[in-house]
Amino acid sequence: MKSISEKPHIVFLIFGVILIALQVYFMLFSPDSTLDINVHDTYFVIAFAHFFNVFGAWYILCGFGYRMLNLFKIEFTKWMVWTHLTFSLLSILGFVLSWTELTPELESFWFLGLIFFALGQIIYFLNILISTIKKTRLG
């Protein structure tokens, strides 16, 4: 577990590549599958392929950000890395649970996934900002 907290870019890159692979799968084999989000009287319709493309690209960019910190020997806060990783994975889980049509109660989990995603990315940017400021003050 120590290697994950020291090199989180590997986890984000692998996760991003998996999401891009899912995007290719949905693009080739199930192009008509969509995510329908109902907010009051408005329906938001998003193709699964586009969803996985955006999230895959974002996680690859997060991995690139962590890699840049490693290259410049900037120490990042470990608990923030773990929190970012956990919230990022929980956000995808929230979206996937909202797609299951087995139980209608799980349909509102997309909002929980959105909250986890937003909180995780705020922690990500704070981690990079705080770590960079600490490096410039100490070094």
Q: Of 20-24, 67-71, 106-110, 117-121, where does mean pLDDT reach its minimum?
A: 106-110
For residue 102, is pLDDT > 60?
Answer: no
Query: Among 68-72, 77-81, 110-114, 116-120, which is the least confidently predicted range?
Result: 110-114
Tell me which residue of 137, 95, 97 sits closest to 117, measured CA to CA: 95
Instruction: From residue 62, give the alpha-carbon distance in Å to each of 11, 36, 57.
Output: 10, 27, 9
pTM of the model: 0.83
Query: With 60 as the cut, is the pLDDT of residue 1 above it?
Result: no
pLDDT recorded at residue 27 = 87
Sequence-separated contacts (24+) of 73-81 with Cβ below 8 Å: 74/131, 74/132, 74/135, 75/131, 75/134, 75/135, 76/127, 76/128, 76/131, 77/127, 77/130, 77/131, 78/5, 80/123, 80/124, 80/126, 80/127, 80/130, 81/5, 81/8, 81/127
Question: What pLDDT score does 139 carry?
Answer: 58
Predicted local distance difference test score (pLDDT) of residue 101: 62
Domain that holds residue 89: 2-138
How many domains does the chain contain in total? 1
Residue 125: per-residue pLDDT:
94
